[in-house]
Structure formats: structure tokens, C-alpha cells
Structure 1
Amino acid sequence: MSDLQEESFISHLIELRTRLVRAAAAFLIVFLCLMPFASHIYDLLAAPMMQTLPQGTRMIATGVVTPFFVPIKVTMMAAFVVALPFILWQAWAFIAPGLYAHEKRLAAPLVIASTLLFLLGMAFCYFFVFRTVFTFITQFAPKSITPAPDIEQYLAFVMTMFLAFGMTFEVPVVVILLVKAGLVTVEKLKEIRSYVIVGAFVVAAVITPPDVTSQIMLAVPMCLLYEAGILVARFMSPRPDAPAVQGRD
């Protein structure tokens, strides 16, 4: 490695370190600002479940330090969501100088769209899916059982659902990237539509709880977003240097 290449490599490492430190500092600042409201943030997260429980029922904590650590974990999640735009901006500022002009024009909208879609998926899960699923489970439970969910298990469930729905709402971005990269054509995406629908329900059955309601609520948006991705991808042309799909092995 020449001195010029070594110097360039070191400068990139320094730039990466600077961006990571700024992103971590932003997360830490937001987290410290939200810490005094940790209990209220957890109560807000638990609201969909609490509204479906019988009157006077509360969640339980089976661990000694669980009532302390669970709200902190929730606050960390909230701080990450709040700081996410700045974190993504730091990532964009690091990779942007290495992109061509046409790549910058495409990458910036995709970064913004993917962020908004992920947050939209979380919001859809919180405001619509949780209440419907929890109501269904509560009504299905035998009358001899008094539900009293553990707060740690509830947090794990919520995190899994948030991640599942957030990633599901990224389907249009994935479809657009595949078409733009020339890895697949819009016509091919239409041909495999039936397989995608089956795959969506299989994925929903694996990720969500074992009830039909939550599975449908994940699979149906996934299929609709796939169609939305195809619709937008029709107006996207592959990169000039992208390999032809027909010629791939």
C-alpha cells in the first residue's frame, strides 16, 4: 500500500470515527433528556395492553430489578427513534462523498423514505395492530383466567412486533432497489406475485404470535406494499452499467 493510499485509508477511518461519535453523542443526549420520563414512556408503550385488560388488572414484574431496567430499555428505544434522523444524516454524510451525482439523487430520497416507512410501520403496529390483537386475545381467554402480563415479556413482544412491521414497510424500497440495480424487472416481479403472497403469509406466521388476526395484519400490508413498490418501480430505469437480468445464470 502506497503512502497516499495509507493516508486516504486513515482519513476515512478518522471520518468514520467522527461520525460514529456524533451519532452516539446524539443518542446519549436524547436518552439523558428522556430518562426523567422513563416511567411515563413505558406507561405510554403499555397503554394498548392496559386498555384491553380487565378493570383493576395491572402488569407484573417477576424479576427483582425488572421494574427498573425495563423502563430504561424502553427509554433507550425511544431515544434511538428520536435520534434516528440525525444518526442517518451522519451515515449519509460519510458515504455521500463517494457517490456519483445520479447515485446521490437516488440515495437521499431512499434514505428518507426508508426511515419514514419504518416509523410508519411502528406507528401502524402501535395504534392499530396492538389494540386489535390484545382485544382478540383477551376475549378469547377463558373467564377463569385473569391476564397479568409480565412487563419483560411484554417488552420483548413489542420489540419483535415493531421490528417485524418496521421491516415489512420497507418492502417498496427493496423492490425499487432491485429494479434500479437491474437484478430483476418489473415484469418478473409481476410474474412471481403469487409466490410473494404465499411467502408473506409464511413470514407472518413465523414472526407474529400464533393468532390469525396478527398474521393477516402483517401479511396484507406486506402484499400491498409489494404492489406499491412495483408501481413506483415502473418509473425507475436500471443503472446503465447494471447487468442484464436475462443474461444471468
Structure 2
Amino acid sequence: MKFLSPRGKAVDPEGRMPLMDHLRELRNRLIKSLLALLVGTIVGWIFFQPIWDFLKDPYCSLPASQQLEAGKCTLVVNTIFQQFFLRLKISFIIGIVLSSPVWLYQLWAFVAPGLYRREKRWTYVFLSAAIPLFIVGTVLAYLTVDKGLQLFLGGFSIDDVTALITVDHYLGYVLAMLLVFGMTFELPLFVVILNLAGVLSFERIKKTQRIAIFGIFLFAAVATPSGDPFTMLALAVPTLLLFEVSAVLAFFNDRRRARRPDPYAGLSDDEPSPLDLDEIDAELERGGRPADPAR
């Protein structure tokens, strides 16, 4: 059965097309993504001031004695054009965030026709969990930014010495905190995905649990920009809890998998069995297990 596109051309239901058609589709989806990014950047440029006030708030919450000008929440720049590039950089970041539904959809629409139904279902599960975990991580990072600033600007301050914090340095610190926390919170999700794929079993997770705990704390100490104990614990403890949750999910998934009958249990090592590759492909497309070739 042939399907027709809006332009009246025949479309393969499995998403197969010539190389040039793939390149044209990629070009069209890139153009749509870039246009969405441009619109999002313009919106970020228009609403720059409230966004910048939000990003600057952790520094503004510091005691007056730890700021350059008490009560004014002042950061400094070193060059003439630095303020312009600061506005452009923040607007671009906001554009990426605002346009993410568009470019994520364009990416998915380009890749999805080549995936099996089971692979599509896994992708939906991954995205539905990855986005909330990343958001929770960034929120936690934002709440802990001021604690690291207070420790290094107040706890280790020297008399008669005032910290001259530049805009670029502060913005880099905040963005690094948000990205590190957000990406680290994705680690347990990868553990679950590897377990679902049969690559990582619960027994292996259990055997390497001590090493994993040590690695999480070591990574938190190295990856956090400030490196202070409070920020390290704020990253390591929730990540460790999420890792334990992923281990529990792996345990139940392995138990569920163990209850399934093995289709090759009754076959000897040298017993030949016919393979119906068309039937296996059809079964994978339906999202199930391949049928027993010996039946």
C-alpha cells in the first residue's frame, strides 16, 4: 500500500527514501529549527532584564559585606563590548530553551521513521523522564549557588580585600552549576535504560555498588565549579538516592525477565533450527520478542 505526501508524492510507510530526499528533509528541518531558535533569541533579547535579574539574584542575596558595593549588587566588565555580548549570550541561551520543543520535534521527526516501534517507545520513556530530571537538577543547582558564593567570598575572605567579580566569570559559574547538576541527574536514567536493554544487570550493579558510591562522590567533588563541601553534598546525595532507585527498578525488571520462558532452553548446542528473518523483523516491529524458531 502506498501513502501520498501532501505534495502528492508516494511515501514509503517505513520511512525509506533516496539520499537526496533525506538531505532535503534534513535541510528543511534545520531551517525550521534555526527559525525557531532565532525567534526564541529575539524573545530572550526583549525580556533580558528580568532574566538577568533572576540569574543575578544568588549574588544579590549575599551579605552586603561580601559585595563590591553594599546594597547595589554590582558586577563589573573589563571591555567596552562585554555588556553587549553578555546580552547576546543570555538571549541565545534563552532562545535554545524556548525553541527546544521545536528543534527536539524536528530531530525526532527526522529519526523516528527509521526506528522500530519498541525503540520509539523507549525513546518516549527516556524523554519523559530525562526532561523532569534535568529540570529538578537545575532547580537544585540554582538553590545552592549562593551557598558556594557565601563560603568562598565570606568564609575565606581576607581583611581589606574586595572581590572584583566580572560578569563573564559569574555567568560562567552559574551556567556550569546548572549544566553539571542537570546532566548528573540523568545518570540513574542511563542505568535503567542499560538494564532494560539487557546490558547491565542488577547483580552487576550490586557487585559494583561501593565503587559506584565512591565514584559519585568523587565526580561531585571534581565536577562542581566551586568544589565546596556543601555543593558537593548537594549534588552527590540526590544522585546517590536516584542511583539506588534505578538499582531497585533494575532488580524488579530482572525478576520480571527471569519469569519469561527461554525459547532456546530445549535445544542442544549442535541442533539446527530454521530462522525466519521476515518473521523476526515483523515481531520486532510489533515490539515483542522473536518467535521460537524451533516451533
The bucket for the TM-score relative to the shorter chain is: 0.7 to 0.9
What is the aligned counterpart of 1:132 among 135, 143, 147? 147
- Structure 1: runs of 5+ lacking an equivalent: 1-5, 242-249
Identical residues among aligned pairs (%): 31
Does the alignment pair 1:183 with 2:185? no
Deviation at 1:235, TM superposition (A): 4.5
Deviation at 1:7, TM superposition (A): 5.5
Q: Quote the Cα distance in structure 2 between the aligned partners of 1:155 and 1:79.
A: 17
Does the alignment pair 1:216 with 2:216? no
- In the other structure, the counterpart of 1:244 is none
What is the aligned counterpart of 1:31 among 41, 44, 47? 41
More helix by share: 1
- In the other structure, the counterpart of 1:20 is 30
Letter in 2 for 1:220: V
Residues 1:120 and 1:81: Cα distance change in structure 2 (over 3 Å): farther
Deviation at 1:109, TM superposition (A): 2.1
Residue by residue over 1:200-240, the C-alpha shift from the partner in whole angstroms, topping out at 9 and shown as x without a partner, is: 12212222223212122222222122112223334446795
- In the other structure, the counterpart of 1:47 is 57
- In the other structure, the counterpart of 1:157 is 173
Q: Quote the Cα distance in structure 2 between the aligned partners of 1:205 and 1:226.
A: 17
Residues 1:24 and 1:228: Cα distance change in structure 2 (over 3 Å): farther
Retained in 2: the 8 A contact 1:122–1:162?
Answer: yes
Does the alignment pair 1:116 with 2:132? yes
Residue by residue over 1:136-190, the C-alpha shift from the partner in whole angstroms, topping out at 9 and shown as x without a partner, is: 2333023433333110011111221111111111012211121122211022112
Retained in 2: the 8 A contact 1:23–1:87?
Answer: yes
Secondary structure of the structure 1 residue equivalent to 2:78: coil
Which segment drifts farther, 91-100 or 55-64? Answer: 55-64
When Rg is computed on C-alpha atoms for both structures, the one with the higher figure is: 2
Residues 1:7 and 1:124: Cα distance change in structure 2 (over 3 Å): same
What is the aligned counterpart of 1:96 among 112, 116, 119? 112
| Number of residue equivalences | 236
- Structure 2: runs of 5+ lacking an equivalent: 1-15, 65-69, 258-287, 291-295
TM-score (norm 1): 0.85
Retained in 2: the 8 A contact 1:205–1:215?
Answer: yes
Q: Quote the Cα distance in structure 2 between the aligned partners of 1:133 and 1:115.
A: 26
What is the aligned counterpart of 1:197 among 203, 208, 213? 213
What is the aligned counterpart of 1:168 among 184, 190, 209? 184
Q: Quote the Cα distance in structure 1 between the aligned partners of 2:110 and 2:251.
A: 30
Retained in 2: the 8 A contact 1:41–1:71?
Answer: no
Retained in 2: the 8 A contact 1:59–1:150?
Answer: yes
Q: Quote the Cα distance in structure 2 between the aligned partners of 1:160 and 1:166.
A: 10
Retained in 2: the 8 A contact 1:23–1:86?
Answer: yes
